Structure 1
Amino acid sequence: MSDVQTTESRGGRVHLTPGDLAARLGVSGSTFRRISTDYEAVFEALPRDAQRRRLWPLEAAERVMLAHEAVREGQADSTRAALELVRAGRELVTLLDPPALGAEGGRVKLDELSAQIHQQGEGITTLLQALDERDSEIAGALRALGETQQAQAQALRELREEVRARPAPAPPSASPPKWWERVLKRVLGSR
């Protein structure tokens, strides 16, 4: 997760973090990495922090914001083309109300984020309460199921005992010999 800090101060100069500038542009991380690569191809390499993340000086951030707005307004086909126009000094769109790039803008953003987090926390609390209620319902159903199973097991034990208590059935009686067995017995017996 990127730093919550919106700016970093290095050597008296203010730098924006990549996450903050991407949020100000309203683009995803992968889109912003492409924009960063385009910027470094057209202008100079950006300074890096100890973890090799790009740091954005305010003038570089303003260039990227102008180029991004020019692409959105249809004045350039790509961010790289818009950045080349900026480097050539061509007049592009002007931002009527550019977002504040200093620490003041960061404070407003932190307040907005804090309000969003608070609102999400309330939503999570509501969900947890609903889950607790559902867990109670499930626990009650499981108890009732367990009691039913115990009653069925007891009924089966009683039935088994009742079956064991009954007398065993008598073995089947021998069936009378067949006619050919009688004839054979007479013939063999006379010898």
Structure 2
Amino acid sequence: ARALGVSPATLRRYAALWEGVVGPLPRDPRGGRLWPKEALARLQAAREAHLREGLPLEEALARVQGDFPAAGLALPSEGEALALLRALAERLERVEGELRALREENACLREALKALEPPVSEATLRR
């Protein structure tokens, strides 16, 4: 947090964004996140782009990804990878459910709009 000039709470929020966009950060034995130098440099570059260009931080993180090597960033363990895949599958299932609900609502709204349209008279059809 000191290296970036942000509060610990902000760094935790950044870490959650990081893990959603880039992947898990390495952890110390007590479970605390470790920030490799490359990760901090990338986060700082993304934060600067976020502040300078008004980009959402997630987009800025994705944009600067190609500018930094992956060296020094730990790959998740098999258990962590499975947990991430499960979480992604659950999120995908929720999003698909929301999409189904929106499609159903859209169909209902279209039907309601049809009911509001004035009836077509024979005189209109003859024109």
What's the TM-score once normalised by structure 1's chain length?
A: 0.33
Q: Does 1 or 2 have the higher relative contact order (CA < 8 Å, sep 6+)?
A: 2
More helix by share: 2
Greater C-alpha radius of gyration: 1
TM-score between the two structures when normalised by the length of structure 2: 0.48
